[in-house]
Amino acid sequence: MTDPVYQTEALLAEDIDAYLVAHQHKTMLRFITCGSVDDGKSTLIGRLLYDSKMIFEDQLAALEADSKRVGTQGGEIDFALLVDGLAAEREQGITIDVAYRFFATEKRKFIVADTPGHEQYTRNMVTGASTTDLAVILIDARKGVLTQTRRHSYLVHLLGVRHLVLAVNKMDLVGYDQQVFDSIVADYTDFARSIGIDSFVPIPISGLAGDNITSRSANTPWFEGPTLLAHLEEIEVDSGADQAQPFRMPVQWVNRPNLDFRGFSGFVASGAIRPGEAVRVLPSGKTSRVARIVSLEGDRDLAVAGESVTLTLADEIDCSRGQVIVAAQSPLEVADQFETTLVWMDEAEMVPGRAYWLKIGAQTVSATVHQPKYEVNVNTQEHLAAKTLDLNAIGVANVTTDREIPFAPYAENRDLGGFILIDKITNQTVAAGMIHFALRRAQNIHWQATDIGRDHHAGMKHQKPAVLWLTGLSGSGKSTIANIVEKKLARMNRHTFLLDGDNVRHGLNKDLGFTEADRIENIRRVGEVAKLMTDAGLIVITAFISPFRSERDMVRGMMQPGEFIEVFIDTPLEVAEARDVKGLYAKARAGQLKNFTGIDSPYEAPENAEIRIDTSRMTPEEAAEVIVERLVP
């Protein structure tokens, strides 16, 4: 029995220079192992590290001590302890996050993403799979294809992992029975076809006993396929396929050390480029040629997918971070509305209509997510109706960005079709997304240019348009104050319009209720109307509870800089509730009114409002005076 891992040792001892030359030309494979708690996943990884001599004696001594103390193998070496990292997890006996392990053979360096198999941790598996070329799906030979197996397979397929290994583990516990193996493979084949997996490589193994891991097992003479490690060493890595695609490089950073040099730095997402070749910058569409590929070691004559490079162009054209340099003859699509698959990763559920940051390539834009078309049951792959997505849910939803972005469908390119969503307030990464296709090409929709512009409208009225956005609890006095403000401005011959929360709900927004999503849509529409009115030159006064910070910020973002004036009508809840002009607080307290701000729905007070009105110290008249003073000094 020859062991591929140990062959290198002779060379290592005899001729270190030859060894180094050989090892500098190793390739790299990233893979993920997926299995449930008891499938022996950690044991398998521990075994790979152990067999490839990545465990040193002192670590082994610690491992032996730990195995006796908390091990599950009756004092024998518990390989799982090698890979269970954080203290809290070790005590619980499960891994709860993504850990990365490293080992190398004479042919390859491997990076293993180790992710837990628990149901609630879809997030971790998706994270781990996003960077891998191959997935090892572990099955307990005694249990066969389980719900978890289906879930793991669906997830790695969803993330576009092209190579799949079905490792039927614990063969020692079923007497190395070929029939058991064959029937599991048959079951899995049916399932794999049903979700679009074309091919996979099944291998019977035992992580604990070491069968078919690094060396062929005498216990499975009926098995003719490769050992797990041999397969991992032989499989073709994806970079070749990426290089065959047209050239695409998102510009990460513009290198401008002095006036004579302007380089565009980025990670080549696909294809290859040489000096002299024609390129196009998207979304602007400007074209030029690559002048140089600059590096510390001197100019290069080729850059390929997977490299971080710096290019200079022959012409001085505008190009900044987030734009994409592509082969001139095969441009990318540019759009601002997409159908996507979203994997929700945050404790706080998705809020349709809310604006999130969307990061794709080297670009971050503002984007709104629409109500999901459906949610996918990850266990059965059934489509379910859904109004939102919560932690670990996967669904298909449309996403609209606030500007055009160059992209490729995720199935074609991970770098140009994968994105994350970031909450604008907490800054947390709340979702991972994969673009299917553009819903409409943005370049086909033109903004109708009008001859009489907003400056003209405002000029005729001799005023500067503005939005006075009054926010505060129900009963805080917003409408009362807004009304006085408008009267005062009218007396000063200012052209105004008052948009009141209750009134708008009788017409424009009468289809909306009071759920979080409906409240956001309510504010979005009011924002759009207010924007049109400022274009018409008006001073708009609004009186809406507008409880969420992110929606107020969204409206602020719609307006010209300086035109949005946030006015916080600051009245303590007890005071507003005591007034209870419309009797709403009483109803809410009695449970007759759901989602009432301040009672069972939060009010997020402004942090940097332009004006704060403390109603405990001011009459409505005085408050109005303060606001008008700020607008017309």
Partner 1 sequence: MTQKTLTHLQRLEAESIHIMREVVAEAENPVMLYSIGKDSAVMLHLARKAFYPAPPPFPLLHVDTTWKFRDMYALRGKAAEQAGMELLVYQNPEALARGINPFDHGPLHTDMWKTEGLKQALDLHNFDVAFGGARRDEEKSRAKERVFSFRSANHRWDPKTQRPELWRLYNARKAKGESVRVFPISNWTELDIWQYIHLEGIEIVPLYFAAPRPTVERDGLILMVDDDRFPLREGEVPQMRSVRFRTLGCYPLTGAVESTATELPQVIQEMLLTTTSERQGRAIDRDQAASMEKKKQEGYF
Q: How far apart are CA 17 and CA 23, in angstroms?
A: 10
Q: Which residue shows structure tokens 């607080």?
A: 585
Work out which of 64, 172, 182, 307 binds partner 1, going by CB under 8 A. Answer: 307
Closest distance to partner 1 from the beta carbon of 330 (Å): 13
Binders of partner 1 among 128-157, rule CB under 8 A? 130-131
- 225-254 residues in contact with partner 1 (CB under 8 A) are 239-240, 243-244, 252-253
- Please state the closest distance from residue 559 (CB atom) to partner 1, in A: 23
In the chain, helix, strand, coil percent, each to 5? 30, 30, 40
Q: In whole angstroms, what is the distance from residue 625 CA to residue 630 CA?
A: 9
Check the annotation: does 194 bind a ligand: no
Number of residues that bind partner 1 (CB under 8 A): 85
- Regarding 270 and contact with partner 1 (CB under 8 A), the answer is no
Residue 260 is assigned to a ligand binding site: no
Beta carbon nearer to partner 1, 97 or 402: 97
User: Contact between 272 and partner 1 (CB under 8 A)?
Assistant: yes
Is 86 annotated as ligand-binding? no
The token pair that represents 149 in the structure block: 């197996």
Residue 24 lies near partner 1 (rule: CB under 8 A): yes
Binding of partner 1 by 109 (CB under 8 A): yes
List the end-to-end C-alpha distance of the chain, in Å, as a whole number: 91
The verdict on 527 binding partner 1 (CB under 8 A) reads: no
| Binder of partner 1 out of 310, 368, 471, 509 (CB under 8 A) | 310
Query: Number of H helices and number of E strands within the chain?
Result: 20, 28
Left (φ > 0), alpha (ψ -120 to 50) or beta: where does 348 sit? beta
Asked if 275 is part of the footprint of partner 1 (rule: CB under 8 A), the reply reads no
Q: Which is nearer to partner 1, 15 or 455 (CB)?
A: 15
Q: How far is the CB of 319 from partner 1 (least distance, A)?
A: 14
What is the x/- site pattern for partner 1, positions 311-350, by CB under 8 A? Answer: ----------x-----------------------x-----
Nearer to partner 1, 57 or 451 (CB): 57
Q: Which residues are catalytic?
A: 546
Q: Which of 26, 505, 549, 589 binds partner 1 (CB under 8 A)?
A: 26
Pick from 374, 347, 387: which is nearest to 520 by CA?
Answer: 387
**Binding positions for partner 1, 349-408, rule CB under 8 A:** 357, 359-360, 362
67 known member of a binding site: no
**How far are the Cα atoms of 99, 260, 391, 394, 597 from residue 349, in angstroms, in the given order?**
26, 50, 6, 12, 19
Q: Identify the sign of the CA torsion 49, 53, 58, 63.
A: positive
| Residue 162 contacts partner 1 per CB under 8 A | no
Under rule CB under 8 A, residue 607 binds partner 1: no
Binding status of residue 166 toward partner 1 by CB under 8 A: no
Question: How many angstroms separate the CA atoms of 556 and 400, rounded?
Answer: 18
Q: Which of 37, 174, 294, 439 binds partner 1 (CB under 8 A)?
A: 294
- Are 333 and 407 spatial neighbours (Cβ–Cβ below 8 Å)? yes
Candidates 102, 142, 411, 600; binder of partner 1 (CB under 8 A) is: 102
Q: How far apart are CA 372 and CA 240, in angstroms?
A: 36
Verify binding: residue 101, partner 1, rule CB under 8 A. yes
Contact region for partner 1 (CB under 8 A) — 196-204, 210-218, 420-428, 573-581? 420-428
Regarding 22 and contact with partner 1 (CB under 8 A), the answer is no
Indicate whether 296 belongs to the interface with partner 1 (CB under 8 A). Answer: yes
Contacts of 8 (CB under 8 A, 6+ apart): 19, 22, 105, 106
Burial status of residue 237 (CB atoms within 10 A of its CB: 0-12, 13-18, 19 or more): middle
Question: 135, 32 in Cβ contact below 8 A?
Answer: yes
Indicate the residue among 58 and 451 with the shorter CB distance to partner 1.
58
Question: At its nearest, how many Å lie between partner 1 and the CB of residue 340?
Answer: 14
The β-bridge partners of 632 are none
- Residue of 526, 565, 550, 564 lying closest to 602 (CA atoms): 550
Q: In sequence order, what are the residues at sequence separation of 6 or more whose Cβ sits closer than 8 angstroms to the Cβ of residue 497?
A: 533, 538, 539, 540, 541
Contact present, 289 and 276 (Cβ < 8 Å): yes
* Strands, E assignment, 571-618: 611-614
Residue span binding partner 1 (CB under 8 A) among the ranges 96-104, 135-143, 163-171, 542-550: 96-104
| Cross-sheet strand order for the sheet of 163-169 | 99-104, 108-114, 27-34, 134-140, 163-169, 201-204
Tell whether residue 59 is a contact of partner 1 (CB under 8 A): yes
- Tokens standing for residue 137: 């799906």
Binding of partner 1 at residue 20 (CB under 8 A)?
yes
| Residue 582 counted as an annotated binding residue | no
Cα-Cα-Cα-Cα dihedral of 83, 86, 90, 91, to 10°? Answer: 180
The verdict on whether residue 171 carries a ligand-binding annotation is yes
* Distance of closest approach, residue 24 Cβ to partner 1, in angstroms: 6
Instruction: Tell me the residue type at 558.
Output: M
When asked if residue 461 is in the footprint of partner 1 (CB under 8 A), the reply is: no
Say whether residue 47 binds partner 1 (CB under 8 A): no
The piece of 25-33, 197-205, 332-340, 491-499 that touches partner 1 (CB under 8 A) is 25-33
Minimum CB distance to partner 1, residue 75 (Å)? 18
Contact between 190 and partner 1 per CB under 8 A: no
Sheet holding 611-614, edge to edge: 496-500, 539-543, 466-471, 564-570, 611-614
- Choices 119-127, 368-376, 499-507, 585-593; region in contact with partner 1 by CB under 8 A: 119-127
Decide: is 72 part of the binding site for partner 1 (CB under 8 A).
Answer: no
608 binds partner 1 (CB under 8 A): no
Annotated binding-site residue? 115: yes
Residue 57 interacting with partner 1 (CB under 8 A)? yes
d(CA 80, CA 77): 9
Binding residues for ATP: 472-479
Annotated binding site: 35-42, 114-118, 169-172, 472-479
Residues at the binding site for GTP are: 35-42, 114-118, 169-172
